[in-house]
Structure 1
Amino acid sequence: MPTLTPDIVPGLIATGASARLDEDVAPKFSIGDAVEMKNINPVTHTRLPRYVRGKKGIVERDHGVFAFPDTGAHGLGHKAQHVYSVKFSFRELWGEDHAENMYLYIDMFDDYMRPAP
């Protein structure tokens, strides 16, 4: 992935930019897998929301392979990996006082997840 320089920004904005990569990377998870988000607290960039750290969800969709922003933001390469839509119940995230049929879907990178115990 090329370095973002001021001269290419207008073209990216005009045409839309994607972090999707055309690389053959094996997925770590499958649709229907129960997963748990890692409870990490890095001092550097992350796209892992605090309110899902340590929470469990279900993989609903595999979006394909993308550049991992946590490494890309620090010049450590694009670290190609799959991104999944993960379904979390409101009860899992915010407690039992929420309806049991309310869900939030968040796109998650491989490195943020592990199989649920």
Structure 2
Amino acid sequence: MPVLTEEFVPILVKTGASARVDVARTARFRVGDWVRVKNINPTTHTRMPRYVRGKLGCIKRDHGVFITPDAVAHGLGEHPQHLYSVSFSATELWGDVALAQDSLRIDLWDDYMELAEHE
């Protein structure tokens, strides 16, 4: 993986930087699918917020295929997979203290989720 040097920073700021990769991967989920975030607690790097673990959400968008930061952080390669925007109701995340009409969207990778039934 290349090192970020001082002279490279202005280029990134001007043009943006993306972890999107041009790799063909079959999406595990579709827009409208209900998923449950895996309730795992790795002792290493993850981009899976603790407050969504074990929670039920709905896929709202498939952003495409991106490298997986968890794998890259541990020198395991890019491990490309789909990244999804998942919507969670506020009450699913925080219980009855939250307003029923509120929701939160989180971007999550394939490996973080399982297909779920919605009640």
TM (norm. structure 1) is 0.91
Q: What residue is the counterpart of 1:3 in the other structure?
A: 2
The amino acid that maps onto 1:3 is P
Structure 1 stretches lacking a partner, 5+ long: none
In the comparison of the two structures, how many residue pairs are matched? 116
Q: Considering only aligned residues, what root-mean-square deviation do their CA atoms show, in Å?
A: 1.4
Structure 2 stretches lacking a partner, 5+ long: none
CA distance in 2, matches of 1:5, 1:95: 42
The amino acid that maps onto 1:93 is L
Q: What residue is the counterpart of 1:34 in the other structure?
A: 34
Percent of aligned pairs with the same residue? 54
TM (norm. structure 2) is 0.90
1:18-33 → structure 2 map (5 Å cutoff): 18-33=18-33
CA distance in 2, matches of 1:14, 1:78: 24
CA distance in 2, matches of 1:64, 1:21: 9
CA distance in 2, matches of 1:40, 1:99: 27
Q: Deviations over 1:10-55 (max 9, x none)?
A: 4323321100111111001000000000111111110000000000
Q: What residue is the counterpart of 1:73 in the other structure?
A: 73
